[in-house]
Chain A
Amino acid sequence: MSTIKVFINDKEYTVESDITIMQACDTIGIKIPRLCYHPKLAISSGCRICIVEVEGMRNFVASCSYPVNEGMKIHTNTDEIRKARKDILELILDNHPKDCNACVRDEVCELQQLASTIGLRERKFEGVKREKYVDDSSPSIVNNHEKCILCGRCVKVCAQIQNISAIDYANRGFNTVIVPAFNDKIANSICTLCGQCVNVCPTAALTEKNYTQDVFKILNDKTKIKVAQVAPSVRVAIGEAFGIPAGSNMEREIAHALKLLGFDYVFDSQFSADLTIMEEANEFLERLNGKGKLPMITSCSSGWMKAMEQFHPDLIDNVSTCKSPMSMMSSIVKSYFADKIGKKSTDIINVAIMCCVAKKYEAQRPELAMEDGAHATDYVITTRELAWMIKSAGIDFKNLKGQDFDAPLGLSTGAATIFGVTGGVMEAAIRTAYELATNKPLENIDITSVRGNEGIKEGSIEINGQEIRVAVASGLGNAHKLLEAAKKDPNKYHFIEIMACPGGCIGGGGQPYAGIRDLPFDPKLVNERAKALYKADELNKIRRSHENPAIIKLYEDFLGKPLGEKSHKYLHTHYKQKFPKGIIRKSKEK
């Protein structure tokens, strides 16, 4: 790599020749303020916050996109630059509500932090603001135009990472807004509700639909049995919201905090992840023996399910009929567990704590409802929402002693823990499928070929002399790529795992906002979360789903056998092609 000399604030530095001014300044320890920039997204240079002065240039230069060259004299902090940045920031804030104290992102707002960094102390140019408009049509994501500062990160993450393009700019100039196609509501759009836009939004323009007030209300309802379940990836991320280093496993603290909040039972979605594996591994072996289509594709990710029904309806028969672990847990709680404690299913309120905003939509799917038509999962709240509830209830999360999840639906194996990371479902399924098919223990249960942060991974394992080829994709953009390849050559893979969010559930749309100094879905953060899950798997004495004693007992007492009659009633579902605005209905289809 060749290097060049540049002058930054009158000091000489040697930097790589093919980087931008911003990168050069990063390497010498000067972090230029920035807003629309994100290292994983295309650079648009729209916010102009990162401008610097370059000697010899007539205008300021956007440091995020301008390359360094030999002898360049860069000034990052002159009076003129500081003043221009202040003016630009003020222009952004002048078109933004002044209701920070009443805003859901108070304290965790990137714009607020930027204002503090820039040091805005007076407002000179205030005038009209953009029109109020809140799109809360979707059960998952709320779009509040008033708070949007048009940085465009959401548009880019949707197009470039997820390859969906559910939202884009409309109108121009001061009237520019970011909306779904045809200026319609999110609920009618092709949005898969993965929530990555929420993750990258610097303000409260895009947020999850907040159910915390409803949950607080229900917790005070003495007539109901309140049951919580916690997704694997929540426990390794929630600490970040309390200033605890990324990758700390907080499962015992979460269980304790939920009890303090007033839940009667705190169960673990990892239990139902084990249950998912029992059903899914058996389903896979059945398909492998000619009963059903191959490759089989996983069905745990709610965002992926909506994407599949819209964009890949031809794969409906390839997708496992298993419900997601969340929905399995909710069904079992309202049937088996309700019987066990002598209650009716209507007496129980299921609250799921998920890393995901699409799960809010999944909970409302009619095909997942109980027999009486009521939703199996009553409320879904994200990691972020739980963190806020804990703070709001005055619980000293950091210093909690911690406690175990409740039995029996709180017992789980290491295989279930890794559901939270891309490749984890595949690895867990292989562990069980191999042993069920061969009756031999799997020698090396760490299946490293499907681990790691790459978007698409491939691996293979021999089962009874047959080579089973598997593939894993995380992020819908990668999923589209992998599935197109699989469609071209239907015999290429036997088993495919798809997760809608980059990195899997640990990178979900409901995870804590990255610290202000870290960027949203910072690869470092996601890696730490993944490491914590693999470590928990390693430390677990039981690492195969079919060895979970509580699962074995559930089959003995209630379900009978995997894929049996009761399993089909409570644990399996079906899919139907969907036609949101923008998906064209062909004349043959009804």
Chain B
Amino acid sequence: MEKQKFTDRFSTVFADQNFFKKQKRIALKNCGLIDPENIDDYIFANGYTALATVLSEMTPEDVIKSVKDSGLRGRGGAGFPTGIKWESTAKQVNDEKFVVCNADEGDPGAFMDRSVIEGDPHAIVEGMAIGAYAIGAKKGVVYLRAEYPLAIKRLQKAIEDARKANFLGKNILGSSFSFDMEIRLGAGAFVCGEETALMNSIEGKRGMPRTRPPFPSVSGLFDKPTLLNNVETWANISSIIVNGAEWFSSIGVGKSKGTKVFALAGKITNTGLAEIPMGMTLREIIYDVGGGIPNGKKFKAVQTGGPSGGCLTESMLDTTIDYESLTKAGSIMGSGGMIVIDEDACMVNIAKFFLEFTQSESCGKCVPCREGIKRMLEILTRITDGEGQTGDIEKLEELGNMIKKASLCGLGQSAPNPVLSTIKNFREEYEDHVNNKRCKCVVCEKLITYTINDKCIGCSACRRSCPVGAIAGLPKEKHTIHEDLCIKCGKCFRSCKFHAIDKTSIAKEQK
């Protein structure tokens, strides 16, 4: 491939769309630009230069120092300083060590890891080879979810091509360093994204988290010292080596250096992946990069960090995106999910949605998560069904706070976040559901009342569509809905062509 052609492609992809203007691409630098199934493309885009530099010019200590100095932190969610993790794994004396890539991306609506592997698989191979050199490992494993067939295919090809080109295998590029890697497929359990459960799963055991300590850097995969990083973290490594730690640490803010890829989803104009430098505000990413809320609706909240994160309100939109600020605001960075919620959404319902997810993904090992989240979900369901009782909100808080502090792994420790943060920021919505049996946003099915207004011409379309015979009325006369019989399925509402059916949620005492 000629150099000219490469820049052509670059300009056609990036053009001058607003979406890209505020982005800075490190992890996604090659995505969409190179042919991911062609190793030459990757090499042409400066690929494997970092590995060659490391093997020819740097000692393992140099590499670790570089990663430490760069200020890179784990992109999987917790934000642990990557260099320190590398250093403590390197310190372990053991004949056998492993490097592992966590590609078990499970947050609903998140696809950062998938895009990196599908668009730039060699970046992972190169990053892991560098990590292995730094800590003294000979073997790497990528734990990739089976639901990503294209990613599996491309990464497999990348590994094979790299092996042929001696970027993997024995005596890589003529050095004394040997390293090889393989892919292990996950079977679709969210909890296997937790590092210790992931390692159990690779070992062929049931995917349940182990207690820590010992940490993986001391006793990880097959009880050997293991360096485990997330896809995006690995994808940053080669750029740090090539451009230097100083360059990397010049991007970002405070203790959060570099960039972060976010998956913009929900009520936002530009859905998709955006890699932005740390330190940008939520407002900038939502309105400038994301293009704001569509259909002229008002912004209500943004959920960062996927099902484990929290909901942030309008008043927090000027929070900068970095690990500390997001935590302080009551959410987390997480792996980069960003779901924008507009004024039409019921926050109790949103919290219930996330809790349904974590509840069904709990592994069942520890009591707070297994039993507690189930009970929280029961209470939430009760509230959205209009059967909430006085004290339910306090029960949710009590259980949520206990589960956060007492659960065994990150899944349980973060599962109550969506509930706790929505209670904190939208308590009046909860109270409205519990005390008035009303859902102001007209979302919670059982709290909705359907009535027929004067626009009704008596066409009987609604009467015919009603599955329970709750609508009565003579032809050409205004129809009525028997509320006692109505099951709130909404069929009449959808069948009416004259906007004659009102969908409202009325407070109990006003009825």
Contacts and interface: CB of A to CB of B under 8 A. Distances in A.
Interface string A435-459: 0000000000000000000000000
16 contacts: A46-B366, A59-B413, A60-B406, A65-B211, A66-B213, A67-B213, A88-B406, A91-B368, A92-B371, A124-B395, A125-B399, A152-B365, A169-B364, A172-B364, A173-B370, A175-B364
A95 interface: yes
Interface in B347-406: 359-368, 370-375, 378-379, 395, 398-399, 402, 404-406
Contact of B375 (A43, A125, A176): A125
Q: Which of B208, B363, B365, B404 has the most CB of A within 10 A?
A: B365
Given A46-B367, A62-B211, A88-B368, A173 B361 contact: yes
Given A46-B365, A48-B368, A169-B206, A174 B406 contact: no
A44 interface: yes
Nearest to B212: A65
A45 B369 CA distance: 13
Given A60-B405, A125-B375, A44 B365 contact: yes
A150 B402 contact: no
Contacts of A116: none
B236 interface: no
Given A88-B406, A94-B375, A174-B370, 14 more contacts: A45-B408, A59-B404, A60-B405, A83-B402, A87-B368, A87-B398, A92-B367, A92-B371, A125-B395, A169-B206, A169-B208, A172-B189, A172-B362, A176-B363
The 9 A-B residue pairs with the shortest CB-CB distance, nearest first, are: A176-B364, A91-B371, A173-B362, A45-B211, A127-B378, A125-B375, A65-B211, A174-B374, A59-B405
A175 B363 CA distance: 9
A584 interface: no
Interface in B395-430: 395, 398-399, 402, 404-408, 413
Contacts of B378: 127-128
B364 A44 contact: no
B62 to A, nearest CB: 31
A62 B208 CA distance: 16
Contacts, number: 101
Nearest to B361: A173
B364 A87 contact: no
A278 interface: no
Contacts of A307: none
Nearest to B363: A172
A291 to B, nearest CB: 46
Which applies to chain A's interface (DSSP): helix, strand, loop or mixed?
Answer: loop
B402 A87 contact: yes
Interface of B: 189, 191, 206, 208, 211, 213, 359-368, 370-375, 378-379, 395, 398-399, 402, 404-408, 413
Interface in A42-100: 43-49, 51, 58-60, 62, 65-67, 83-84, 87-88, 91-92, 94-95
A168 interface: yes
Contacts of A43: 211
Contacts of A124: 395
B206 A168 contact: yes
Contacts of B375: 91, 94, 125, 127
A399 interface: no
Chain A CB within 10 Å — which of B213, B364, B413 has the most?
Answer: B364
Contacts of A48: 366-368, 406-408
A287 B362 CA distance: 57
A62 B366 CA distance: 11
Interface centre among A49, A127, A169 (most CB of B within 10 A): A127
Nearest to B190: A172
A173 B360 contact: yes
Which of A66, A83, A128, A174 has the most C-beta atoms of chain B within 10 angstroms of its own C-beta? A174
Contacts of A128: 374, 378
Contacts of B405: 58-60, 84
A209 to B, nearest CB: 27
B222 to A, nearest CB: 15
A316 to B, nearest CB: 31
A466 interface: no
Most B CB within 10 A of own CB, among A48, A83, A150: A48
A491 interface: no
A464 interface: no
Given A67-B213, A169-B206, A84 B406 contact: yes
Nearest to B378: A127
A83 B361 CA distance: 26
A48 B405 CA distance: 10
A171 B367 contact: no
Nearest to B376: A125
Contact of B372 (A59, A91, A171, A172): A91
A43 B404 CA distance: 21
B370 A150 contact: yes
Contacts of B211: 43-45, 62, 65
B364 A91 contact: no
B406 A59 contact: yes
Contacts of B398: 87
B400 to A, nearest CB: 11
Contacts of B407: 48, 59
B362 A47 contact: no
A43 B212 CA distance: 11
Contacts of B367: 46-49, 88, 91-92
Interface string A85-120: 001100110110000000000000000000000000
Contacts of A46: 365-367, 408
A115 to B, nearest CB: 14
B406 to A, nearest CB: 5
Contacts of B372: 87-88, 91
A127 B379 CA distance: 9
Contact of A95 (B189, B371, B406): B371
A174 B213 contact: no
A51 B406 CA distance: 7
Contacts of B362: 172-174
Interface string A506-522: 00000000000000000
Given A48-B368, A125-B375, A88 B395 contact: no
A43 B379 CA distance: 32
